[in-house]
Amino acid sequence: VLTPFREILEERRAAGAAAGAFTCYNGETASGVLRAAETAGVPAVLLVSAGSLRAPGGRFLLPMLRAAAERAGVPACVQLDHVADLDLARAALEAGAEAIMADGSKLPYAENVAYVRAVAAEAARRGAGVEVELGHIEGGEDVAAATAAGALTDPDEAAAFVAETGADCLAVSIGNVHGAYAAPPDLDWERLARIRELVDLPLSLHGASGLPDGDVQRAVSLGIAKVNVNAEIRARLLVELERRLPEAQPGANLLDLGGALESAVAEVVAAKLELLGGGVAAKEDAA
Ligand SMILES: [Zn+2]
């Protein structure tokens, strides 16, 4: 069921849980994500990257993901992940994105505010939501340097930033990074608690692939209402592809191969969703 981004996050926050947001590259990844969400009885955010939209055939991906979200048995929506390009954000909204992650985190503060406000205005016209980032969450290529260099979210600045931009969700940088971790990071819990005190919005945690389960659960208990997962899905897909390819090749059996990839994604996603809490099973336990 297509559901507004804001509504999904607020419902998860109220449930003391977090929404899982998973990068979808094609039909198999999307149906794997939604199958796991339906089994768990929790909502899901289907993430599409700017790179995917720009790729050949990218113009078909977003409408397909939106159709999948509409037909899902749980609340779902499509979000364009990390975009620093207003035109691409606009195109995604036109193609049916329910949310934009307006990433101006590499810009100086004032320019970041101006960029996010422009995206937020476009999104508001279509009833879509906006996620912002303050403090820069580095990519996986230079993990050690990124962590050492800091660039963590400043709680006071974050409070001012969300007030100025009218954002619906704030991505925090508390020592988390995108991609794989060389070693489990030392997340700055005090900083997260302080942000939580000052920012009354659902918070999101990116780079959750490879974080110890206990850290993810602790983050949710401290107010993280959305968790982005990408690297673990990609890694698992490639392992599955390598394993299944020899048996698929003789008969050129694409359907079985596609089904196996979908199941592999569903397994990764199911494990994450259980960590994020608030599912049908958890509700039954509480009753
Ligand atoms: Zn991210």
Q: How confident is the model at residue 239 (pLDDT cuts 50, 70, 90)?
A: very high
Measure the CA dihedral 167/179/240/277, to 10°: -50
Q: Give the SS3 label for residue 210.
A: coil
Q: How far is the CA of 70 from the centre of ligand 1 (A)?
A: 24
Q: How far is the CA of 206 from the centre of ligand 1 (A)?
A: 5
Q: How far is the CA of 23 from the centre of ligand 1 (A)?
A: 10
What's the Cα-to-Cα distance from 101 to each of 62, 97, 133, 177, 286, rounded to whole Å? 15, 11, 8, 16, 33
- pLDDT at residue 67 is higher than 90: yes
Q: Which of 81, 103, 168, 188 is catalytic?
A: 81
Whether 87 sits among the annotated catalytic residues: the reply is no
- Mean predicted lDDT score pLDDT of the chain: 91
Q: In this structure, are residues 117 and 161 in contact, taking their beta carbons and an 8 Å threshold?
A: no
Q: How confident is the model at residue 134 (pLDDT cuts 50, 70, 90)?
A: confident
Tell me the pLDDT tens digit for each residue of 77-101: 999 999 999 999 999 999 999 999 9
- pLDDT at residue 4 is higher than 80: yes
- Global model pTM greater than 0.95: no
Q: How far is the CA of 207 from the centre of ligand 1 (A)?
A: 6
Task: Give me the pLDDT at residue 137, please.
Answer: 66
Task: Give me the pLDDT at residue 287, please.
Answer: 44
Task: Give me the pLDDT at residue 72, please.
Answer: 98
Between CA 130 and CA 101 the distance in angstroms is 6
Task: Give me the pLDDT at residue 281, please.
Answer: 55
- pLDDT at residue 180 is higher than 80: no
Task: Give me the pLDDT at residue 183, please.
Answer: 79
